[in-house]
Chain A
Amino acid sequence: MKYQVDERGYYGNFGGAFIPEMLYHNVEELRYNYLKIIEDPDFKKEFNQLLKDYVGRPSPLYKAPRLSDRYQTNVYLKREDLNHTGAHKVNNTLGQILVAKRLGKNKIIAETGAGQHGVATATVCALMGMECIVYMGAIDIERQKPNVERMKLLGAKVVPAMSGSQTLKDATNEAMRHWIGNPTDTHYIIGSVVGPHPYPDMVARFQAVISKEMRFQLQEQTGSELPDHIIACVGGGSNAMGAFYHYLDEESVNLIGAEAAGLGIHSGESAATTVLGKSGVLHGSKTMLMQTPDGQVIEPYSISAGLDYPGIGPVHAHLCETKRATFYPITDEEAMKAGMLLCKLEGIIPAIESAHALAVLDKIKFKASDVVVINLSGRGDKDLATYIKYNKKNLQ
């Protein structure tokens, strides 16, 4: 239990609910009800049924033979990219919309970076017949056009966040402002293990299905529920938390997070929070945060819009501080190379976010007997333009 949230909403020194009074009622309503709702048998039944029939779970655990051969170890891919909507995000949006329904809410808001969470939210809103507004940074709208069109097709209203760096952080600010102005009928579906308590814990519980499945799939395929290493990319950290969740207390399992180092850690164009950040408060929780000495939040950068966030979830800040997990900074270049390699060796085009996790294979020399699970959090269809551009540049 030492890595779970405590009754104050903290993971060690991180977490809490640093929210203005105008949000207290909403967040308190959620905090008071969320465990009761998600542990209710009717809720579980509906959620599990939809995960199976609508999302297509369990997602396969696939031993990648040519990748394993290349790195002289045993690489398993947890195929979250095969979920409906193309990423792990839908596990959480489905859970939260069922919570929202039971709280009597009929409107949904969300923030999105790459657009994957926005699409997953728009999808479940269509499924449940709820009104959906997605805030998205104006720059992200430009660089993730296909996802914007998908959200619109699904009936969502996409509102550009024009403030600040016009990316994920600013979309989150706008979503919070919207929630302050609409406190009674609206639920805010946060897309990662960030935000005020109880969000990090609630999102972790919905994503935990990933490691729950991993345990029985590994047992089936390797004869043990426990791998040696689990690798996942970390922006806010929801897919990583899902992959780590049922292994947190299994200290023999090495937990590894891949952070976006952008153009390089000290280039000034990076999102490697555990290296560059220090303790601070943003978006409702105390966590590791990239900031100036004066406490202003630094605009992050990554080639991958989904990792372009100046903080990490408080649980990851705790895992980092206690050294339960190790975090590796991965540059744009390293991620792109790893992504291309997976295309060629396994016939799988990974999301550039997930490619950061794959790049860790080049950073650590694993033993031939090691079982290494990489959480392939999303598929790369949305990143086609970036892959094409990268290829063109390298051919010149």
Chain B
Amino acid sequence: MNKLDNRITRLFNKKDQRILSIFCTAGFPGLNDLKTVLESLEKNGVDMVEIGIPFSDPVADGETIQESNKVALDNGMTLELLFEQLADIRKTVSIPLLLMGYLNPVMQYGVERFCKKAASVGIDGFIIPDLPIVEYAESYKSIMDVHQLSNILLVSPQTSEERIRFIDEQTDGFIYMVSSNSITGKSSGVSDQQVAYFERMKALSLGNPGIIGFGISDRTTFDTACASASGAIIGSAFIRAIKNSENLEQDIQQFIETIIPKN
């Protein structure tokens, strides 16, 4: 039973397998490309999007996403501008949208102001990797709950069963499963060890569905992930696909078709 009612929880109530989620960096490749990117992703059948808030020091990200952060910041991207770009997004995009970023820009913007603003433009949740669960529970949860915002938490192969169950209780929406104990964009392919970890997670029968992120780059890895979890997130591979794009709509369509081919 979900405590929150937003587009994320509604999506998972309706569909519990082969969820395709895409990560993009706001302000990348061009400063004002976000609207086109989101519309194209929805049009081509993507179920959910994580919008990356660029940060100067993205320690949990690999080279591809680091580089996209740098490009976006050099383009002039700010959190303020991101909210402006999203102001009318719900007129054209209806899939769940999450903001993903590091804690410091959120802290400087002000947590309460951030949640309020995000909710008002139609954001459904956040992924903030360096926000510890204890800090979230103490200072963030009550504010996010008021605005029906999901705080998506990560688990890794090193996370103990006890802690996974604790995380499952604290989150509402889905659990972000880091597929290898690695930063984004590093590994390619899915190892037997990772499959064993996916299966271990599946066997726990958690309250929240699991979505596999990190290391998913193509149809094969997406299919493998979907065999053990409710879906997967593709980040670095998508960033690479649009990096030098001269026609975003066309390149996005082509990329998504390689993951979920039309019949």
Identify the A interface with B (CB < 8 A). Answer: 8, 16-22, 24-26, 163-164, 169-170, 173, 176-177, 180-181, 183-184, 279-284, 289, 291, 293-297
Binds A, one of B36-44, B59-67, B248-256: B59-67
Contact residue among A169, A184, A284, A293 (Cβ-Cβ distance under 8 Å from B108) = A293
Tell me whether B130 and A281 are in contact (CB under 8 A): yes
Tell me whether B79 and A177 are in contact (CB under 8 A): no
Tell me whether B109 and A295 are in contact (CB under 8 A): yes
For window 144-161 of B, CB contacts with A under 8 Å fall at 153-156, 158-160
Q: List 6 A-B contacts (CB under 8 A).
A: A8-B134, A24-B156, A169-B57, A183-B158, A281-B130, A291-B104
Shortest CB distance B143–A (Å): 17
Shortest CB distance B62–A (Å): 7
Identify the B interface with A (CB < 8 A). Answer: 55-60, 62, 66, 70, 73, 78-80, 102-109, 129-132, 134-135, 153-156, 158-160, 163, 178, 181-183, 186
Tell me whether A181 and B130 are in contact (CB under 8 A): no
Shortest CB distance A194–B (Å): 13
Query: How would you classify the secondary structure of chain A's contact residues: helix, strand, loop or mixed?
Result: mixed
Tell me whether B107 and A294 are in contact (CB under 8 A): no
Tell me whether A296 and B103 are in contact (CB under 8 A): no
Shortest CB distance A188–B (Å): 12
Q: Bound complex: CA of A163 vs CA of B47, how far in Å?
A: 33
Of all chain A residues, which has the CB nearest B158?
A: A25
Contact residue among A170, A184, A296 (Cβ-Cβ distance under 8 Å from B73) = A296
Q: Bound complex: CA of A281 vs CA of B108, how far in Å?
A: 10
- Residues of A within 8 Å of B134, CB to CB, are 8
Tell me whether B159 and A180 are in contact (CB under 8 A): no
Q: Bound complex: CA of A294 vs CA of B107, how far in Å?
A: 9
User: Which of A20, A21, A279, A280 gathers the greatest number of chain B CB atoms within 10 Å?
Assistant: A21
Shortest CB distance A63–B (Å): 44
Contact residue among B66, B132, B156 (Cβ-Cβ distance under 8 Å from A17) = B132
Q: Bound complex: CA of A215 vs CA of B5, how far in Å?
A: 62
Tell me whether A280 and B107 are in contact (CB under 8 A): yes
- A16-B135, A177-B183, A282-B104 known; A21 and B155 CB under 8 Å? yes
- Residues of B within 8 Å of A22, CB to CB, are 60, 154, 156, 158, 178, 181-183
Tell me whether B56 and A297 are in contact (CB under 8 A): yes
- Residues of B within 8 Å of A297, CB to CB, are 56-57, 104
Contact residue among A24, A176, A280, A289 (Cβ-Cβ distance under 8 Å from B159) = A24
Tell me whether B80 and A294 are in contact (CB under 8 A): yes
Tell me whether A173 and B154 are in contact (CB under 8 A): no
Tell me whether B57 and A181 are in contact (CB under 8 A): no
Tell me whether B59 and A181 are in contact (CB under 8 A): no
- A18-B131, A18-B132, A282-B104 known; A296 and B181 CB under 8 Å? no
Contact residue among B58, B105, B158, B186 (Cβ-Cβ distance under 8 Å from A295) = B105
Q: Bound complex: CA of A176 vs CA of B129, how far in Å?
A: 14
- A183-B158, A281-B107 known; A176 and B59 CB under 8 Å? yes
Shortest CB distance B7–A (Å): 24
Nearest 9 interchain pairs by C-beta: A295-B105, A295-B108, A25-B158, A21-B154, A20-B129, A296-B56, A20-B60, A297-B56, A295-B104
Contact residue among B105, B154, B183 (Cβ-Cβ distance under 8 Å from A181) = B183
- A180-B181, A181-B181, A281-B130 known; A20 and B154 CB under 8 Å? yes
- Residues of A within 8 Å of B181, CB to CB, are 22, 180-181, 183
Of all chain B residues, which has the CB nearest A177?
A: B183
Q: Bound complex: CA of A280 vs CA of B110, how far in Å?
A: 11
Tell me whether B182 and A180 are in contact (CB under 8 A): yes
Tell me whether A295 and B73 are in contact (CB under 8 A): no
Contact residue among B57, B78, B135 (Cβ-Cβ distance under 8 Å from A173) = B57
Of all chain A residues, which has the CB nearest B160?
A: A25
- Residues of B within 8 Å of A293, CB to CB, are 108
Q: Bound complex: CA of A136 vs CA of B23, how far in Å?
A: 30
User: Which of B104, B107, B153, B183 gathers the greatest number of chain A CB atoms within 10 Å?
Assistant: B104
Of all chain B residues, which has the CB nearest A180?
A: B183
Shortest CB distance A226–B (Å): 38
Shortest CB distance A197–B (Å): 10
- Residues of A within 8 Å of B103, CB to CB, are 18, 281
Tell me whether A294 and B78 are in contact (CB under 8 A): yes
- Residues of B within 8 Å of A184, CB to CB, are 158
Of all chain B residues, which has the CB nearest A289?
A: B104
Q: Bound complex: CA of A17 vs CA of B130, how far in Å?
A: 9
- Residues of B within 8 Å of A173, CB to CB, are 57-59
User: Which of B60, B73, B154, B155 gathers the greatest number of chain A CB atoms within 10 Å?
Assistant: B60
- A295-B108, A297-B57 known; A21 and B129 CB under 8 Å? yes
Of all chain B residues, which has the CB nearest A163?
A: B66
